[in-house]
Amino acid sequence: MYTILDIETTGGKYNEEGITEIAIYKFDGFKIIDQFISLVNPEIPIQPFVVNLTGINNDMLRQAPKFYEIAKRIVEITEDTIIVAHNANFDYRILQTEFNRLGFEFERQTLCTVELSKKLLPDVKSYSLGKLVRELGIPMSDRHRASGDAKATVTLFKLLLSKDSKKEIVSSTIRLAPKRQVDKKLLRIIETIPGETGVYYMHKEDGTILYIGKSKNLKKRVIQHFTSDNRKSKKIQDEVQSVSFELTGSDLIAQLKENEEIKINKPIYNRALRKTIYQYQLNSFKDENGYINLKIEKADARKKPITTFTNYQQAKNSLFKITESYDLCQKLTGLYQTKGACFSHSIKECSGACLGEETPENYNNKIEDFLKKNSFDSQNLLIVDRGRELEERSVVHIENGIFKGIAFFNLNYQITNTAILKSLITPMSNNKDAQHIIQSYLRRNKVIKVIKLEE
């Protein structure tokens, strides 16, 4: 659990500043669950340059509560949380100074979004909050006011969490978090997991990731782990200390993140999923009569497939649908072994390529139409699907036929703006498994839309 905060001060000498405004948002890694925003009477004058910067003046603060009047609320909302701030050392020092004046020892663990941004967003031009969020297309209002800056930091932190493929933020958070009793451990963990679509991470006590999985219902899947009596599940039950999760809204995004992060983190109990996840692929060749044939083959890394399949039955079922949808010949798609006419020709559903009645040119045009619609080669696409919230969408980016990564965007923003899109994208590996996941998902599921970008 995190509390994301921003503090405005009077300015002045080091450790003599007073707080003029504070905003705190309690954040569970996905949404804000509590908040506290208040002006504060610092009982000392505000420096003129600060008045010009924030718009907060001495007259505005005369009737505001003094720090001791809001101290209890700050303690309560930040208890058992990790404080997150943009330049966290400054905000945390100011808070500690105020509590020290009251004779109260205030101690919390902290994470700094400046440091995290430098690590996860190495290509941005500036790490000042205003310039950073502007470059990332993050909405911001009331710059240099506590609530505006803190709200922008929430969105920034959410983006950083999604870009943290090695899960270093979550792992460090677990190490920093207060230790609790392990009594009824599994039940306590289950209570924290939502029944939504996403990726889950099972951690040891030191934050090390034991297992990564994905599900359309995270709570249900974690319960299955904790109630199963197979050997692997029992080992996980013994070793797991906490489960973190990342909501994705879209099952496609969940599958891509699971595939990517298992390969990066190599959790001890994910051995099977480190390997290639498809066994068959669809290839094409031109026969001696000039017709393009389709053929299901075992996965072969030396050949570039049209599309891939998890197993043979899935491949065969898909090829039947392809043959029917594009008016193809069952003989030339390898579904009907014969020296003469295919079965579909006998029921007048094949135009006769199997007998030479349909010209190679006409038949091959239908194959090319299928290839164009089902291959990413040289295409620039955005696959848009559900987001984590109603006003949000997820996007998968394909550039020149290469899978570049994923992002989330607010519906109010134009995602075809290339500069903003590239800053939001979490880069991912363009491996064969990722291509398989995308193509397989599009075959079996409807997405909100596919946008073709101009080259």
Provide the pLDDT for residue 181.
Answer: 43
Last residue of a domain, one of 272, 307, 326: 272
When divided into structural domains, the chain yields a total of: 4
Crossing angle of the two packed helices 146-163 and 113-120, in degrees rounded to 10: 40
Provide the pLDDT for residue 417.
Answer: 66
Provide the pLDDT for residue 289.
Answer: 92
Assess contact for 22 and 65: CB atoms under 8 A: no
- Single-letter code of the amino acid located at 27: F
Mean pLDDT, rounded, for 21-50 = 91
Provide the pLDDT for residue 183.
Answer: 45
Last residue of a domain, one of 339, 357, 374: 374
Helix (H) or strand (E) holding 293: strand 292-298
Q: Vertex 448, ends 254 and 439: CA angle to 5°?
A: 55
For residue 297, is pLDDT > 70?
yes
Provide the pLDDT for residue 277.
Answer: 66
**Which of the four pLDDT bands, split at 50, 70 and 90, describes residue 180?**
very low
**Which of the four pLDDT bands, split at 50, 70 and 90, describes residue 178?**
low
142 with 256, same domain: the answer is: no
Q: Indicate if the alpha-carbon torsion angle 59, 64, 68, 71 is positive or negative.
A: negative
> Which candidate, 242, 189, 253, 235, places its Cα nearest to that of 447?
253
Reduced DSSP (H G I as helix, E B as strand, rest coil) percent helix, strand, coil of the chain, to 5? 40, 20, 40
Q: What does each C-alpha distance from 454 to 321, 412, 421 come to in angstroms?
A: 30, 21, 14
Q: What is the per-residue pLDDT across 126-153, written as a single tens digit (0 to 9) for each?
A: 999 988 988 888 877 877 788 999 999 9
Quote the mean pLDDT of the chain: 87
The dihedrals phi and psi of 214, each to the nearest 5 degrees, come to -135, 155
Rg of the Cα trace of the chain?
A: 28
155 with 197, same domain: the answer is: no
Q: What is the per-residue pLDDT across 194-244, written as a single tens digit (0 to 9) for each?
A: 999 999 999 998 889 999 999 999 999 998 888 887 888 889 998 999 999
370 with 398, same domain: the answer is: no
> Which candidate, 123, 129, 176, 124, places its Cα nearest to that of 156?
129
365 with 393, same domain: the answer is: no
286 with 406, same domain: the answer is: no
Assess contact for 288 and 356: CB atoms under 8 A: no
Mean pLDDT, rounded, for 92-117 = 88
> Which candidate, 352, 380, 376, 355, places its Cα nearest to that of 366?
352
Pair of tokens at residue 26 = 């309690």
For residue 360, is pLDDT > 90?
yes
Mean pLDDT, rounded, for 3-12 = 91
Last residue of a domain, one of 224, 249, 272: 272
Considering the entire predicted model, what is its pTM?
0.65
> Which candidate, 355, 312, 319, 314, places its Cα nearest to that of 335?
319
20 with 54, same domain: the answer is: yes
Provide the pLDDT for residue 401.
Answer: 82
For residue 121, the SS3 value is: coil
Provide the pLDDT for residue 449.
Answer: 87
Strand order in the sheet with 307-309: 292-298, 280-286, 307-309
Percent of the chain surpassing pLDDT 70: 93
Q: What is the per-residue pLDDT across 237-256, written as a single tens digit (0 to 9) for each?
A: 989 999 999 999 999 999 99
For residue 182, is pLDDT > 50?
no
Provide the pLDDT for residue 413.
Answer: 64
Provide the pLDDT for residue 396.
Answer: 93
Give the residue carrying structure tokens 């100074």. 97
CATH number at residue 201: 3.40.1440.10
- Single-letter code of the amino acid located at 144: H
Provide the pLDDT for residue 276.
Answer: 61
Give the residue carrying structure tokens 């599921």. 445
Least confident of 172-176, 347-351, 353-357: 172-176
**Which of the four pLDDT bands, split at 50, 70 and 90, describes residue 338?**
confident
Give the residue carrying structure tokens 């079965």. 343
Provide the pLDDT for residue 72.
Answer: 93
> Which candidate, 368, 339, 341, places its Cα nearest to that of 353?
341
* Cβ-based burial of 134 (10 A; exposed 0-12, middle 13-18, buried ≥19): middle
For residue 177, is pLDDT > 60?
no
Crossing angle of the two packed helices 146-163 and 129-136, in degrees rounded to 10: 50
> Which distant-in-sequence residues (6+ apart) come within 8 Å of 444 by Cβ?
none
216 with 139, same domain: the answer is: no
Provide the pLDDT for residue 281.
Answer: 87
**Which of the four pLDDT bands, split at 50, 70 and 90, describes residue 361?**
very high
Assess contact for 128 and 140: CB atoms under 8 A: no
148 with 49, same domain: the answer is: yes
State the DSSP code for 291: P
18 with 148, same domain: the answer is: yes
**Which of the four pLDDT bands, split at 50, 70 and 90, describes residue 274?**
low
Q: What is the DSSP string of 20-87?
A: EEEEEEEE-SSSEEEEEEEE-B-SSPPPHHHHHHH---HHHHTTSPBHHHHHHHHHHHHTTSEEEETT
Provide the pLDDT for residue 1.
Answer: 87
Mean pLDDT, rounded, for 333-352 = 88
19 with 153, same domain: the answer is: yes
Provide the pLDDT for residue 222.
Answer: 92
**Which of the four pLDDT bands, split at 50, 70 and 90, describes residue 402?**
confident
For residue 399, the SS3 value is: strand
Q: What is the DSSP string of 68-103?
A: HHHHHHHHHHHTTSEEEETTHHHHHHHHHHHHHHTT
155 with 43, same domain: the answer is: yes
Greatest mean pLDDT among 21-25, 268-272, 398-402 lies in: 21-25
Provide the strand spans (E) within 324-401: 381-386, 392-399
Q: Vertex 36, ends 30 and 40: CA angle to 5°?
A: 145
Range of 218's domain?
168-272
d(CA 442, CA 316): 17
Helix (H) or strand (E) holding 324: helix 312-325
Task: Point out which residues pair with 110 in neighbouring strands.
Answer: 83
For residue 263, is pLDDT > 50?
yes
Pair of tokens at residue 347 = 């029921």
149 with 8, same domain: the answer is: yes
